[in-house]
Amino acid sequence: MASSSESITSSEFIRHHLTNLTFGQHPDGSWSMAHDAAEAAQMGIMAVHVDSLFWSFVLGAGFLWLFRSVAIRVTSGEPGMLQNFCEWIVEFVDENVRGSFSGRNDMVAPMALTLFCWIFLMNLMDLVPVEVIPRLLALFGVHFQKVVPTTDPNITFGLALSVFVLMIYFSIRVKGPAGFAAELTMHPFEARSPALKVLFIPINFFLEFVSLISKPISHSLRLFGNMYAGEMIFILISLMFGTGVVLTLFGGVLQFVWAVFHILVITLQAFIFMVLTIVYMDMAHQHH
């Protein structure tokens, strides 16, 4: 679409690339794909972002297929480059789990590995040129396509809420309902007097509840905000193409520099999400 920027404004170009392929119910009761951002907004909370879900599933399946194929062909002799790479990732994640998780739970390391690789692959889609996949799919009548799932807050909130639910589950399982309730009501303010203890319960609960709820919110918004900003910069750079030789060349150089820097960003964001998950699971397994 950058080449056709003469027929659309810059704001329309940006809005187009930030609109999800949305399926939902129209005001007249019919169900179909939204034709523009206004229709997508009218569909409300029951709308489904088809593109975000599609690319999430495809990348998740690709991760599982790759690691399974390596596991089937694993050898103790002289491993190939792919096996070495997969083993390095597993060891890297395992070291972080051993360093941050003090409990005993065989699920934490595989979950951390899955989150790191899956989020990294979703972030990696940000390095695909903005126009390539949407233009190809437009030939088949698909007019909207966001290929970076982590620029969709629904995806990042879904991942963070899944971790949050597991954290609550293991907190209750390890500490018991009474222990979990005491953790929310008996800290940070304590007192020996029974009257003061009762007085501090609502204050402690408010402070701990805010702290508890802020975990999935910050967990998800950190990933979404960084990836959304990176995608926006790529879109703004793409506006330079087709507007003149000088701006096109400058845009190409700028896009290359930002893509190289963004490799660090996408890796760091996947790592941060994984580390926070390990820390939250460790908090769930700690006794106070």
pLDDT digits (tens, 9 = 90+) for 235-272: 988 888 877 788 888 888 998 999 999 999 999 999 99
Q: Provide the pLDDT for residue 187.
A: 81
Catalytic residue among 84, 211, 214, 218: 218
Q: Is 98 one of the catalytic residues?
A: no
What is the spatial distance between Cα 175 and Cα 27, in angstroms, rounded to a whole number?
A: 48
Q: 153: which DSSP letter? A: H
Q: Provide the pLDDT for residue 6.
A: 45
Q: Is 96 one of the catalytic residues?
A: no
Q: Is 218 one of the catalytic residues?
A: yes
Q: Over the stretch 13-50, which tens digit does the pLDDT of each residue have?
A: 888 888 899 999 888 888 999 888 888 888 888 899 99
What predicted TM-score, i.e. pTM, was given to this entire model?
0.90
Catalytic residue among 20, 52, 226, 238: 226
- 76 pLDDT exceeds 80? no
Tell me the torsion sign for CA atoms 178, 179, 180, 184: positive
Q: Which two tokens stand for residue 281?
A: 């699971």
Cβ atoms of 280 and 216 within 8 Å: the answer is: no
What is the spatial distance between Cα 228 and Cα 226, in angstroms, rounded to a whole number?
A: 6
**215 CB contacts (<8 Å, ≥6 apart)?**
160, 164, 167, 280
Q: Which two tokens stand for residue 167?
A: 């954290």
Q: Provide the pLDDT for residue 4.
A: 41
Tell me the torsion sign for CA atoms 198, 199, 205, 211: negative
**Which residue has 């698909």 as its token pair?**
142
**Which residue has 């969709």 as its token pair?**
152
**Which residue has 């460790």 as its token pair?**
282
Q: Over the stretch 221-232, which tens digit does the pLDDT of each residue have?
A: 999 999 999 999
Strand partners, 49: 22
Cβ neighbours, 10 Å, residue 82? 12
Average pLDDT, the chain: 89
